[in-house]
Structure 1
């Protein structure tokens, strides 16, 4: 569309795309990329395969198709204790989705992986949680970012420390320092790097 000055409104006046537009890896016009951190967990069936499927699904949402992954950790369940241990990891990717659109996509991925929500904090084939969405703070009925219980959970912070150890959390402490403190309480074991 040409504006009243004869310049294509979709460009910066130089013929290049305007700074607020971006084409993702699928050629779709989208907003500016934002870095997000997502926690992945599984304690049902072939756990490592569920995590691999989750990483692949995240790569399809990533602007450049790339997902940086932490190591995988085996952890004791939290909340509902009558279930098997979890494999947990974290992923970092850039997306052009809104936080709520990303949440919807993550819920679709969980459902595709066979997740059934019958017991709160119960067994699951695949669990995907948004930990951080850029520097945004979101508190509404559907989504809370940064994740509200992140700083009390070794199964979240140890993988996150693999990706962003110096990241400063609410309260002023680094991810690494809080992860080190939480891991000393036990219940978390390094499994290895797979991606």
Structure 2
């Protein structure tokens, strides 16, 4: 069975743009994952963090993996690209977030779906809107939620 899921990608250390592109290739090569759509790249200022601006996008995938298996695959790709977790919201070489997994709601010590802060982040909402239209989350439509995040620095990249 193929499930539609959405993955947030971001990086702000090293060659961030190239790392995000490489991570998309890694995602597409992962068994049980088919890359469906990728939003344009955006630059965003760090939120609750420090360091250089992030490069962000969102990808939609079809997957036969369970949410936990998909999370493990994402963490494997992060590690491959040098991800370290020295403290909460530390700058990172790569961050892959499981944003949505079909219409499933999950809240375990390991994984929360939908991602608990995605509705507060323009760098997630805008690329998600680019590939999913004006989808509605439990907190409201993407357009409404984006309006509430308009003060966050977000710029499309060429």
* Fold shared by both chains (TM-score > 0.5): yes
Counterpart selection for 1:141 from 94, 109, 124: 109
Question: How far did residue 61 of structure 1 move?
Answer: 3.1
Distance 1:65 1:139, change over 3 A: closer
- Equivalent residue for 2:62? 94
Equivalent residues in 2 for 1:125-136 (5 A)? 125-136=93-104
Alpha-carbon distance in structure 2 between the residues aligned to 1:155 and 1:64: 23
- Equivalent residue for 2:146? 179
Alpha-carbon distance in structure 1 between the residues aligned to 2:148 and 2:85: 31
Higher relative contact order (CA 8 A, sep 6+): 2
Asked if the contact 2:5/2:60 (under 8 Å) is kept, the reply is yes
| 4+ aligned runs moved over 4 Å, structure 1 | none
Asked if the contact 1:62/1:93 (under 8 Å) is kept, the reply is no
Distance 1:66 1:80, change over 3 A: closer
- Equivalent residue for 1:27? none
- Equivalent residue for 1:166? 134
Could you give the per-residue CA deviations for residues 109-157 of structure 1, whole angstroms, max 9, x where no partner exists?
0000011111211111110000000000000000000000111111111
Asked if the contact 2:33/2:64 (under 8 Å) is kept, the reply is no
Structure of larger gyration radius? 1
- Equivalent residue for 1:36? 5
Alpha-carbon distance in structure 2 between the residues aligned to 1:135 and 1:66: 18
TM-score, scaled relative to structure 1: 0.77
Could you give the per-residue CA deviations for residues 65-113 of structure 1, whole angstroms, max 9, x where no partner exists?
43310011100111122x1110010000100000000001101100000
Larger strand proportion, structure 1 or 2?
2
Alpha-carbon distance in structure 2 between the residues aligned to 1:179 and 1:123: 24
- Equivalent residue for 1:103? 71
Larger helix proportion, structure 1 or 2?
2
Cα RMSD after superposing both structures: 1.5
Q: Does 1:150 pair with 2:118? A: yes
Q: Could you list the runs of 5+ residues in structure 1 that have no partner in the other structure?
A: 1-31
